[in-house]
A and B are shown apart, each in its own frame.
Chain A
Amino acid sequence: MAGTAKAKRAGIETPARRAFRQLRKNGPATVSAGVLLVLVFVALFAPQIAPHHYAAGDFSANFAAPSSRFPLGADFLGRDMLSRLIYGTRISLSVAFLGAFFAFFVGLIYGVIAGYFGGRLDEIMMRIVDILYAFPGLLFIILLMVAFKTGFGGVATTNPVIRAVGTLDAKLGGVFLIIVGISLTSWVGMARLTRGMTLALRHAEFMTAAKALGASNRRVIFKHLVPAIAGPLVVQVTLSIPGFIGTEAFLSFIGIGATPPTPSWGTMIAEGFSAMRSHPHLAIYPGLALAIVMLAFNFLGDGLRDALDPHSR
Chain B
Amino acid sequence: MAVLAIRRILSLVPVLFVISVVTFLLMHSVPGSPFATEDKPLPPQVKANLEAYYGLDKPLITQYFSYMGNALRGDLGPSYLQRNRSVNQIIRQHLPPSATLGVLALAVALVIGVPIGVLSAVRQNTLTDYVGMFIAIAGVSVPAMTLGPLLIWGFALELGWLPVARWGTWQQAILPAITLGLGSAAVLARLTRASMLQTIHEDFIRTARSKGLTEQRIVTKHALRNALIPVITVIGPLFAALVTGSMVVEQIFAIPGLGRYFVDSVSSRDYPVIMGTTLLYAVVLVISNLVVDLSYHLIDPRMRLENSA
Contact = CB atoms under 8 A, between A and B. Distances in A.
Interface stretch (A118-126, A188-196, A248-256): A248-256
B149 interface: yes
A146 B278 contact: no
Interface residues of B, number: 47
A156 B145 contact: no
Most A-side CB within 10 Å, residue of B30, B145, B269, B281 = B145
A304 to B, nearest CB: 13
A266 to B, nearest CB: 7
A313 B22 CA distance: 42
B251 A295 contact: no
Contacts of A227: none
A298 B140 contact: yes
Interface in A127-163: 131, 134-136, 139-140, 142-143, 146-147, 150-157, 159, 162
B18 A143 contact: no
Interface residues of A, number: 48
Nearest to B30: A147
Interface in B134-174: 134, 137-138, 140-143, 145-147, 149-150, 152-153, 157, 164
B263 A139 contact: no
A299 B137 contact: yes
A44 to B, nearest CB: 24
A256 B143 CA distance: 18
B281 to A, nearest CB: 6
B238 to A, nearest CB: 15
Given A253-B145, A266-B145, A143 B32 contact: no
Contact of B251 (A131, A150, A254, A283): A254
Interface stretch (A10-18, A63-71, A177-185, A284-292): A284-292
Given A159-B31, A253-B145, A242 B140 contact: yes
B137 A143 contact: no
A162 B29 CA distance: 12
A155 B38 CA distance: 5
B112 interface: no
B29 A284 contact: no
B32 A136 contact: no
Tell me the dominant secondary structure on chain A's binding face: helix
B33 A155 contact: yes
Interface string B122-134: 0001000000001
Contacts of A280: 149, 152-153, 157
Interface string B159-191: 000001000000000000000000000000000
B33 A298 contact: no
Interface in B35-56: 36-38, 41
B26 interface: yes
Most A-side CB within 10 Å, residue of B29, B146, B244, B281 = B146
A294 B143 contact: yes
Interface string B12-35: 000100110011001101111100
A249 B140 contact: no
Contact of A284 (B149, B244, B269): B149
A136 B281 contact: yes
**In the complex, the 6 A-B pairs of residues with the closest C-beta atoms, listed nearest first:** A287-B146, A295-B141, A283-B149, A154-B32, A294-B141, A147-B30
Interface of B: 15, 18-19, 22-23, 26-27, 29-33, 36-38, 41, 125, 134, 137-138, 140-143, 145-147, 149-150, 152-153, 157, 164, 244, 247-248, 251-252, 263, 266-269, 274, 278, 281-282
12 contacts: A134-B18, A136-B19, A139-B266, A147-B29, A150-B38, A249-B143, A254-B248, A254-B263, A276-B153, A287-B147, A290-B145, A290-B146
Given A134-B18, A136-B278, A254-B248, 7 more contacts: A134-B282, A135-B18, A152-B267, A254-B251, A272-B149, A295-B141, A299-B137
